A and B are shown apart, each in its own frame.
Chain A
Amino acid sequence: MSTLGTIFLQSSNFINACYIVAFSLFIYGMSGLTGPRTAVRGNMIAAVGMLIAIIATLLTPHVLSGSSTPWLIALGLVIGTAIGIPAARNVRMTAMPQMVALFNGVGGGAVAIIAWIEYRHHFASGASFWVQKSQIPTLFAAIVGSISFWGSNIAFGKLQEILPGRPIKLPGQTIINAVLFTICVGTAIVLAAGVHSEPLFIVGILLAAAVLGNMVVLPIGGADMPVVISLLNAFTGLSAAATGIALNNTAMIVGGMIVGASGTILTNLMAKAMNRSVPAIVAGGFGGAIAAPAGPGGEDRGPVRSTSAQDVAIQLSYARQVVIAPGYGMAVAQAQHAVRELERALEKKGVEVKFAIHPVAGRMPGHMNVLLAEADVPYDLLREMDEINPEFGRTDVTLVIGANDVTNPAAKNEPGSPIYGMPILEVDKSASVIVLKRSMASGFAGIDNPLFYEPKTALLFGDAKQSVSEITSEVQAL
């Protein structure tokens, strides 16, 4: 490359122009993600933006200086790609929520490490030189990045069922959290004010924030997990933007901030769909206190009626309208393809089949849509909650597949219930209800479901996929 060319490529104007192109592509790509038709392209456009930002950064003068620097950078990029691509390719659609949590976590981890190095670096070159401006965002990034890393890992552990999904709470949890938060912020203020400049302080902040991240997510029950992941996603975005300010990098500022802002909106939308407020979710576990007695003592509600695949098949085949309400159980059992078969079989018999999609069914908003789309269920059969609820009165049979909390009438009728007020699929309005369940264990939120004890409800126990396949073959045999 000619010298002139090199000068041009390395000039800060060219590099900044690249950053502007990069963040424009992020915004354009993201706006594409909001519609089903433009989404794939939008995602690609954002990825191209990312590539441009990375190349521009590598062109920046001095970035590749030093004998080992290019190799170390290449090493990091290669390791990341080698882990990221296979993980993303091979993850099952049902495990998507925990995968997103994990990706979010490593992003937070990267922010925390970068903030740490940034601090060390400036500290080593003389504490007094450290520009005030980069101090506050760096400390902010350290705290939030560390919370996000550890919080996401806990969320991953819970969704992957490495950790129990039920809320884990310590006595005096709120006080402990408040103390930890004070330690983080207090230490950060001491550092920023220049009262003390001990290099170990930053490690203390990172550790306190790490414990805080654990403590905040551990008591949160499974049903709230999607909201938490989205919130942590917003956190990581904000901390990335803060890092961008510290490093004077516009691409990082804009990229981080649009994620921070959109993540906040998304978190709110999700919380609203569950009729919960974000502070309430963060402050305490979902049904932590009430769940304990309600779980095992379910029998005092009366007996449940269990049924057979054959009976279900007969009932479904002679119905005019059947509504299928899928939940996480369908996801774990990988039953979406079997469900699609059942839907086809019923349609051949002239039964009208619709799918009722609760906004937070599964472990993520839109989780059911993704799975059903994977199984090729036509888009126009899917009905959102508000659309389908008035229709339950006209429905002969509702088939609940592995959904629990989102169909729980307690949310409407029992003011004492921890999920009281959450909008639900009103499946109890249909003429009869069939629930496919693995066992009588309560849902992820740990709340008993009165729906199961209603006289019009019949339960079919077993693995959802197997049950659905049996029903389908019975329907076909009729």
Chain B
Amino acid sequence: MSTITEIAILVLAAFVGFEVISKVPNTLHTPLMSGTNAIHGIVVLGGLLLMHEAHGVLEHALLVVAIAFGTINIVGGFVVTDRMLGMFKKKPELPSGESAGEIEGGDT
């Protein structure tokens, strides 16, 4: 792919990024930050692509670390975001006797 095509992709991606975020409520800033944080874990692909070209112990060891780092970034980022977002959801499926009863049932 030519450099110019890649730069075009880069610029368009920048506009997409700007556009997507401009209407986010404050409430979702933290999950959004951690969600986008997970996406830049995509660098792990770099580690995968370079491993077979690596020479010597140093490069191999460094790339294992890089892949591990990238994976932590991805896995951790998505799981943490999911946990956070799960808390924003209503929880009607929880034991109905307890939580629902407490809200409506006056003195308990």
A31 closest partner in B (C-beta): B20
Query: Is A209 an interface residue when CB atoms closer than 8 A count as contact?
Result: no
B102 closest partner in A (C-beta): A344
Contact between chains at A230 and B33 (CB < 8 Å): yes
The minimal Cβ–Cβ distance linking B41 to chain A, given in whole angstroms, is 6
Main SS of chain A's interface residues? Answer: helix
Chain A 228-259: CB-based contact to B (< 8 A → 1; otherwise 0): 01100100110111011101111111111111
Given contacts A69-B51, A80-B71, A252-B46, contact A365 B30 (CB under 8 A): yes
Within the assembled complex, what's the spacing in Å between the Cα atoms of A145 and B97? Answer: 52
Tally of contact residues, B, Cβ under 8 A:
84
Contacts of A84 in B (CB 8 A): 71-76, 79
Indicate which residue in B46, B78, B89 contacts A43 across the interface (CB closer than 8 Å).
Answer: B78
Chain B CB within 10 Å — which of A53, A251, A253 has the most? A253
Indicate which residue in B6, B59, B71 contacts A245 across the interface (CB closer than 8 Å).
Answer: B6
Chain B CB within 10 Å — which of A50, A97, A103, A369 has the most? A103
Query: Is A314 an interface residue when CB atoms closer than 8 A count as contact?
Result: no
Contact between chains at B79 and A85 (CB < 8 Å): yes
Given contacts A81-B71, A113-B63, A374-B87, contact A262 B76 (CB under 8 A): no
Tally of contact residues, A, Cβ under 8 A:
116
Given contacts A113-B63, A114-B47, A261-B17, contact A256 B40 (CB under 8 A): yes
Within the assembled complex, what's the spacing in Å between the Cα atoms of A68 and B83? Answer: 36
B74 closest partner in A (C-beta): A50
Given contacts A54-B48, A85-B76, A348-B107, contact A76 B68 (CB under 8 A): yes
The minimal Cβ–Cβ distance linking A348 to chain B, given in whole angstroms, is 7
Query: Is A299 an interface residue when CB atoms closer than 8 A count as contact?
Result: no
Query: Is B3 an interface residue when CB atoms closer than 8 A count as contact?
Result: yes
Query: Is A303 an interface residue when CB atoms closer than 8 A count as contact?
Result: no
Contact between chains at B49 and A63 (CB < 8 Å): yes
The minimal Cβ–Cβ distance linking B21 to chain A, given in whole angstroms, is 4
Given contacts A80-B71, A107-B70, A117-B62, contact A262 B13 (CB under 8 A): no
Contact between chains at A237 and B38 (CB < 8 Å): no
The minimal Cβ–Cβ distance linking B73 to chain A, given in whole angstroms, is 4
In order of increasing CB-CB distance, the 10 nearest A-B pairs are A80-B71, A261-B17, A76-B67, A84-B75, A257-B13, A365-B29, A88-B79, A84-B76, A258-B17, A255-B42
